[in-house]
A and B are shown apart, each in its own frame.
Chain A
Amino acid sequence: MSWSSLIEFEEVTRSKRARELISATGAVAVFIVLLALSARIGEVSPQALLDGASAAADYIGRMVPSLHFNTVGPDLKSWYWSAGTWLNALSDTILIAFLSTVIGFVIGAPLSFVASRNLTSGWAYFVVRRLLELIRTVPSLVYAMAFVLAFGLGATAGILAVALHSASSLGKLFSEVNETADGKTFEAVQSAGGGWFSVVRFALLPQVAPAYVSYTLLRFEKNIRSATIIGLVGAGGIGQELFVAIRSFQYQDVSAIVLMIICTVMVVDMTCDRARRLFT
């Protein structure tokens, strides 16, 4: 190792570091400009941020129920004064998630066979695949809003909206699973004279069934969340109760309902997680 090569190394490193510094400064500058622009369009300012934070703190402060150690029973009762109605709405929400998951599966699974390249070729594959991707890009809340106008207020609109989104999502996911399936079993069934349906039933399904179950359970978890919020646009379930509570500034009702939703989501997540582990 000579001195000259060491000096050369130092020079190369220094110029490299200088270049890195310039590009980093440039990136930060672009970021700051974009942030300032976005803050302007988004109507945010440091003052608004402070006001917003205090308003949010105030809101959360009002949501806290007054529970005293001596009168915990009556306090809870007055907090959950409408527990019957809310539990009923909550059970509707769970059923909406269940029904829409089932409908989504029943529609999505057959479509996934058409949307898999190793099972279907030509225009049918292309059309169905693109359609599934397009439908699932639109949020289920948008479908819910449109369906409330078509089917009227209530759970029917919500179920169909969540089911439509589930069918496209599951169809897309299932088709990806189908494409990873081992093609040798397909050949085995075909060589024994089996047609397209036999291939799907006896070569594909035994391979992909565990993945299907796992994805469907995951979808059910997501649908529980969707089912809680579609009520905000009048499509049934606990969201409708929550909407009324928030709009009429019944702070304690809001906290009571939100707590019920969080508990439900947690229990469903944990149960599905357990169930999923059984299959994978």
Chain B
Amino acid sequence: MPNSAVAIIAVEPGDNASAGQTQPSNLALSEILIAHRRTRQRRVALLLLGLAVFIGAAYKVGLNPLSMARGLEKLGGFLRSMVPPTAGGHFSELLYALGQTVAMAFVGTVLAAVIAIPLSFLGASNVVGVWPLRFVVRRLFDFVRGVDVLIWALIFVSAVGLTPFAGIMAIAIADGAVLAKVFSEIIEQIDNKQIEGVQSCGADRLTLLRWAYVPQILPLFLSNILYYFESNARSATILGVVGAGGLGYELSERMQLLLWDQVFMVVLMILAVVTLIDFASRVVRRQIA
């Protein structure tokens, strides 16, 4: 309603001649004007309140405009020294790191799926009738999901050392939980008629699984796994920052040494690998569907 009032006034500003010809519309117009002024006052008050909260928050966390200006100057210098990008003679090393990033995402996603599939049956209400078990499994999924994959990577780096394997475990655990939740939702939504059909032919449990469950859930499982592979390729590029190998490791190393032209090269490689994997998984997904 306020918006329509604003629109009327904006479209016919000061059109007094036509409005003044009839008494009732004149009265209505003044009423609209008062209402309009009131909404505007309310909006200004809200904006000021928001601004005050913003400034208070900025003050609390120490957002300093002065240091921001100085930092921007430094950042400009960084940007200038970024071009032209160069591998600095380590191109084969970077290429290997790129392969490592993709490998981390791939193995991590496969392990995540291996973890998720049995768990998802435990979390699906049409498979497991015991609700306390289901409840515990579901809360476990939520709990693991609440921790970012980078935090898992940092934990595993300190558990198994500086190796891409730490990144793989991080992806497997973090995404295992997410995939388990997604899978159990897929299992819950399958069509019961197909199960009954196979059952009516006298099938045992294994036959039932093969001919009633798998045909329904397999395409959805696969397309979700592919989707998470895409997203893992993105996160695998940065897992190296905490020491888990791959492009992220090369990136943080070069940044610490302020080798900005090489940093730019690594960033370009990250963009390339993300784009490539998006493309590849779109092709594979079209094959499945």
What residues of chain A have their CB less than 8 Å away from a CB belonging to chain B? Answer: 34-35, 37-39, 41-44, 48, 51-52, 55-56, 58-59, 91-92, 95-96, 98-99, 102, 134, 137-139, 141-142, 145-147, 149-152, 154-157, 159-160, 189, 192, 194, 198, 202, 206, 225, 228-229, 232-233, 236, 242-243, 246-247, 249, 254, 258, 261-262, 265-266
Contact = CB atoms under 8 A, between A and B. Distances in A.
Nearest to B7: A202
B164 to A, nearest CB: 5
Given A44-B168, A99-B57, A258-B151, 20 more contacts: A41-B99, A41-B164, A42-B165, A43-B245, A44-B107, A52-B165, A52-B169, A58-B159, A102-B50, A137-B274, A142-B267, A145-B241, A145-B255, A150-B78, A151-B71, A152-B71, A155-B63, A156-B71, A189-B11, A232-B150
A43 B142 CA distance: 29
Interface of B: 3, 6-7, 10-11, 50, 54, 57-58, 60-64, 67-68, 71-72, 74-75, 78, 96, 99-100, 102-104, 106-107, 110, 142-143, 146-148, 150-151, 154-156, 158-160, 163-165, 167-169, 173, 234-235, 237-238, 241-242, 245, 251-252, 255, 258, 263, 267, 270-271, 274-275
Contact of A154 (B62, B147, B156): B62
Nearest to A226: B148
A265 B169 contact: no
Nearest to A39: B107
A129 to B, nearest CB: 16
B255 A146 contact: yes
Contacts of A150: 71-72, 74-75, 78
19 contacts: A38-B103, A41-B99, A52-B156, A59-B156, A91-B60, A99-B58, A99-B63, A137-B271, A142-B251, A147-B71, A149-B74, A150-B71, A151-B74, A151-B75, A159-B63, A189-B7, A198-B10, A242-B154, A246-B155
Contact of B61 (A56, A99, A206, A242): A99
B78 A95 contact: no
B238 A35 contact: no
Of A98, A147, A156, A225, chain B has the most CB atoms within 10 Å of the CB of A156
User: Which secondary structure dominates where chain B touches chain A?
Assistant: helix
Given A38-B107, A99-B54, A254-B155, A156 B165 contact: no
B147 A262 contact: yes
Q: List 4 A-B pairs, minimum CB-CB distance, nearest first.
A: A151-B71, A262-B146, A38-B103, A155-B61
Nearest to B50: A102
A192 B80 CA distance: 48
Contacts of B148: 225, 228-229
Contacts of B147: 258, 261-262
Contacts of B104: 38, 42
B57 A138 contact: no
B110 A35 contact: yes
A125 B60 CA distance: 38
Contact of A56 (B72, B159, B251): B159
Of A34, A43, A58, chain B has the most CB atoms within 10 Å of the CB of A43
A146 B238 CA distance: 13
B234 A43 contact: no
A120 to B, nearest CB: 21
Given A141-B238, A228-B148, A254-B155, A52 B160 contact: yes
A42 B78 contact: no
A38 B54 contact: no
Contacts of A146: 75, 78, 255, 263
Nearest to A193: B11
Nearest to B65: A156
A198 to B, nearest CB: 7
A138 B159 contact: no
B60 A242 contact: no
B173 to A, nearest CB: 8
B142 A266 contact: yes
B267 A147 contact: no
Nearest to B71: A151
B63 A202 contact: no
A187 B50 CA distance: 33
Contacts of A155: 61-63
Contacts of B165: 42-44, 48, 52
